[in-house]
Structure 1
């Protein structure tokens, strides 16, 4: 019987094709507006590292001025950065499963055989090999540098897929050499496409931008005294002893993000105990003169505190949902008009023995088909809108404007379900036609 009802439903759609098409378009426009805004909001506010959201933490220590509190919304809060000496000390104590300092600088990049005029300014991210394993970074060629490179500050690099295409035409460049400023580095790995969003591990202002194209060991940056004050955010409550980079490294200036991986509540508690002991030792040396406010902050907590995403996107989603509801009401009106035009046909079918259940089955399939076509067309329009958004907001990562397979399926299912819900009233009204009254008009 389902095949028969389906046949009747599609015959009805064809007979009323213009009204059916109008209903499909109205639903598609509503679906497109809703899913475009929802996709962008979902990508901007989702958990960036769901598999490790409860095991990766930003370490925050209250190494700040003894005269003035470091305040955030009128409450004292430890800085989001730490000093070089604290980052190095925490790495050397080796109390976590992974230690991930995050810093950076900029320098001129080229191949050794290229002339200076071919060099281009490139932003560099420095960290440890734990960065790639803890943050689940995929590799196209090679891998991260070994732990020994972190210890010695070896001149090695990991480059992005994009930079590899620019410098080496997309070929396997492991073992090749690039030049950053005055120094040469050996490529040990090439990143594959990496879709972690928001990018929580650095500055919140870069949460929705593409990752850096080149990575080097943190210790290498320290050894070579690579520093760019106009790139790396930093704060100093006490000036370094002199203007040298070494003095900056030894100062109380904070500029290094420091993440750790702790795989259980027990490890987390033990690390907090270690931080308490460490701060007490530093206090005995005359450092950390403010109240002890050690904190381990999850990626989501960090992003929320730094207001990496605005509530405007959530408001836009709700507005689009309201618009979708209006579209569905219009579609319901169109479907009702369509069914009313078939009142005589309904009366005739009822007169020859068709039950109300038979008519409900037929019109439910017909309404569901309208929702299906509306969902498919809405999905196409959503992809167009996301593409146009990616072209308009070029400062944001294009990964934000990407629908997952789950969202695509949900788009079509939402359209079908919404059409069935809003189509119930027209269906009920259609099957309540009095056969005797309508048969007289035939």
Structure 2
């Protein structure tokens, strides 16, 4: 340990002799790492698994095409009647239909209304997507209830506290009782609603039973489509039997056997509907896993991928420039290295000296990269506010940055290290 501390002191003395080249090397590395890390932050968050260990068990079934077409995919949103047919199976461990809508909430009629986003869904939603409850419980069944569940931020906004179970609020001037409040929760990316890049948005404010949503004629705010003369203003009646599509539907299939059985169930259902004349297109059932839903819908944000690739190339250019500066530093200190070898320093000792240089450069470039990375994330949040949810840093990202800084610092000093350790001693002393 004392020997390594000595190597660190020698490295600091070397820096003092030529501070400008060293500062330029650190600056170039910091810029390359910081810019790359800022973009890698968004790329990592957008492509992360929001439910590790469970996402491979959640699937989005699509079937029962209500129009005539050749080699086409079934609609990415389902009608109420089709969801009821899919839900008739007892194969899934859990299943939930859902959509989102807009509304206004307030505590009394005298208060100004607060705009809210409503997730209209079924009770299994909370179990399937590991939604944590801080207070209360979910609905006892999938029937209609004038009961709502609030997100924690919405409870604080309306009441100033979270312990509000049993109290009431006005949702679009209809009275609802609060039966639950969520704990801190933000699913990123929000893959349960990947239709139309909605997975990039924040979680909803209020959760309402699906049957109540239809009873009260809440239309989807993101995507709805009708394939007959169904009146979308009559969800409670026509919306339940017509070809009005607005529902997303998820099932939990825990085993490969369940997945195979459910695919067979979808095939049988499509064949029955085809025989009844309600499925004119060729059968093309889809059972898409959660982690593949964004790619399947074609809503993957290519701008983040492009930025990540460009900044990776920029980092490579910075490495070449920093390596060139490090080589110049080596040439200016070449006689010192040669003298150490002449006095008996082994190649392993010279490598330890270089390792001390690498650690110092890692510390300095890491501090610079953190500052530049934070500035880059803030700039991207300003330019792309829809991606601001994905700008958080966690332990994995910080660890990756530390490893990247160490690796880049090592690569920058690798060639000088090899020259110092394995070059011709006579030639080095002559130079």
Q: TM-score, normalization: structure 1? A: 0.88
Q: Supply the distance in 2 between the matched residues of 1:23 and 1:372 (Cα, whole angstroms).
A: 13
CA contact (8 A) 1:375 1:415 kept: yes
Q: Please tell me whether residue 77 in structure 1 is matched to residue 55 in structure 2.
A: no
Matches within 5 A, 1:397-408: 398-408=388-398
Among 46, 49, 59, which residue is 2:48 paired with? 46
Q: Please tell me whether residue 188 in structure 1 is matched to residue 190 in structure 2.
A: no
CA contact (8 A) 2:100 2:222 kept: yes
Structure 2 unaligned regions, length at least 5? none
Deviates more, 1:413-422 or 1:3-12: 3-12
Q: Supply the distance in 1 between the matched residues of 2:225 and 2:182 (Cα, whole angstroms).
A: 32
Query: CA 1:92 to 1:5, structure 2 compared with 1: closer, same or farther past 3 Å?
Result: same
Residue 54 (structure 1) shift: 2.0
Q: Please tell me whether residue 250 in structure 1 is matched to residue 241 in structure 2.
A: yes
CA contact (8 A) 1:44 1:197 kept: yes
CA contact (8 A) 1:44 1:309 kept: no
Q: CA RMSD in A?
A: 2.5
Q: Which residue of 2 aligns with 1:273?
A: 264
Q: Which residue of 2 aligns with 1:213?
A: 205
CA contact (8 A) 1:27 1:371 kept: no
Q: Please tell me whether residue 134 in structure 1 is matched to residue 125 in structure 2.
A: no
Residue 429 (structure 1) shift: 2.9
Secondary structure of the corresponding residue to residue 186 of structure 1: strand
Secondary structure of the corresponding residue to residue 51 of structure 1: coil
CA contact (8 A) 2:102 2:115 kept: yes
Q: Which residue of 1 aligns with 2:366?
A: 375
Among 188, 201, 223, which residue is 2:192 paired with? 201
Query: CA 1:360 to 1:283, structure 2 compared with 1: closer, same or farther past 3 Å?
Result: closer
Q: Supply the distance in 1 between the matched residues of 2:258 and 2:35 (Cα, whole angstroms).
A: 45
Q: Which residue of 1 aligns with 2:152?
A: 161
Query: CA 1:242 to 1:48, structure 2 compared with 1: closer, same or farther past 3 Å?
Result: closer
Residue 180 (structure 1) shift: 0.8
Residue 9 (structure 1) shift: 2.2
Query: CA 1:262 to 1:143, structure 2 compared with 1: closer, same or farther past 3 Å?
Result: farther
Q: Supply the distance in 1 between the matched residues of 2:205 and 2:361 (Cα, whole angstroms).
A: 47
Q: Which residue of 1 aligns with 2:310?
A: 319
Residue 264 (structure 1) shift: 0.6
Residue 186 (structure 1) shift: 1.9
CA contact (8 A) 1:28 1:374 kept: yes
Secondary structure of the corresponding residue to residue 125 of structure 1: strand
Q: Supply the distance in 1 between the matched residues of 2:339 and 2:207 (Cα, whole angstroms).
A: 75
CA contact (8 A) 1:204 1:303 kept: no
Residue 386 (structure 1) shift: 1.4
Secondary structure of the corresponding residue to residue 284 of structure 2: coil
Q: Which residue of 1 aligns with 2:227?
A: 237
Q: Supply the distance in 2 between the matched residues of 1:431 and 1:283 (Cα, whole angstroms).
A: 76
CA contact (8 A) 1:13 1:366 kept: no
Q: Supply the distance in 2 between the matched residues of 1:177 and 1:196 (Cα, whole angstroms).
A: 27
Q: Supply the distance in 2 between the matched residues of 1:267 and 1:248 (Cα, whole angstroms).
A: 31
Secondary structure of the corresponding residue to residue 428 of structure 1: helix
Matches within 5 A, 1:241-390: 244-245=234-235, 246-283=237-274, 285-390=276-381
Query: CA 1:85 to 1:440, structure 2 compared with 1: closer, same or farther past 3 Å?
Result: closer
Q: Supply the distance in 2 between the matched residues of 1:328 and 1:143 (Cα, whole angstroms).
A: 55
Q: Which residue of 1 aligns with 2:413?
A: 423
Secondary structure of the corresponding residue to residue 49 of structure 1: coil
Matches within 5 A, 1:83-122: 83-111=79-107, 113-115=108-110, 118-122=112-116
Q: Deviations over 1:59-100 (max 9, x none)?
A: 2112312xx32x7xxx41111111112223433544321111
Q: Supply the distance in 2 between the matched residues of 1:325 and 1:242 (Cα, whole angstroms).
A: 55
Secondary structure of the corresponding residue to residue 226 of structure 2: coil
Secondary structure of the corresponding residue to residue 109 of structure 1: strand
Query: CA 1:390 to 1:144, structure 2 compared with 1: closer, same or farther past 3 Å?
Result: farther
Q: TM-score, normalization: structure 2? A: 0.90
Q: Supply the distance in 1 between the matched residues of 2:234 and 2:266 (Cα, whole angstroms).
A: 29
Q: Supply the distance in 1 between the matched residues of 2:253 and 2:97 (Cα, whole angstroms).
A: 15
Q: Supply the distance in 1 between the matched residues of 2:212 and 2:113 (Cα, whole angstroms).
A: 21
Q: Deviations over 1:362-387 (max 9, x none)?
A: 12321332133212321232123213
Secondary structure of the corresponding residue to residue 4 of structure 1: helix
Secondary structure of the corresponding residue to residue 123 of structure 1: strand
How many aligned positions are there?
A: 427
Residue 391 (structure 1) shift: 3.4
Secondary structure of the corresponding residue to residue 101 of structure 2: strand
Q: Deviations over 1:259-300 (max 9, x none)?
A: 111111111122222223333444455422333332211123
Query: CA 1:242 to 1:419, structure 2 compared with 1: closer, same or farther past 3 Å?
Result: closer
Q: Which residue of 2 aligns with 1:409?
A: 399
CA contact (8 A) 1:346 1:433 kept: no
Q: Supply the distance in 2 between the matched residues of 1:26 and 1:133 (Cα, whole angstroms).
A: 48
Structure 1 outlier segments of 4+, above 4 Å: 283-286, 431-441
CA contact (8 A) 2:319 2:412 kept: yes
Deviates more, 1:55-64 or 1:349-358: 349-358
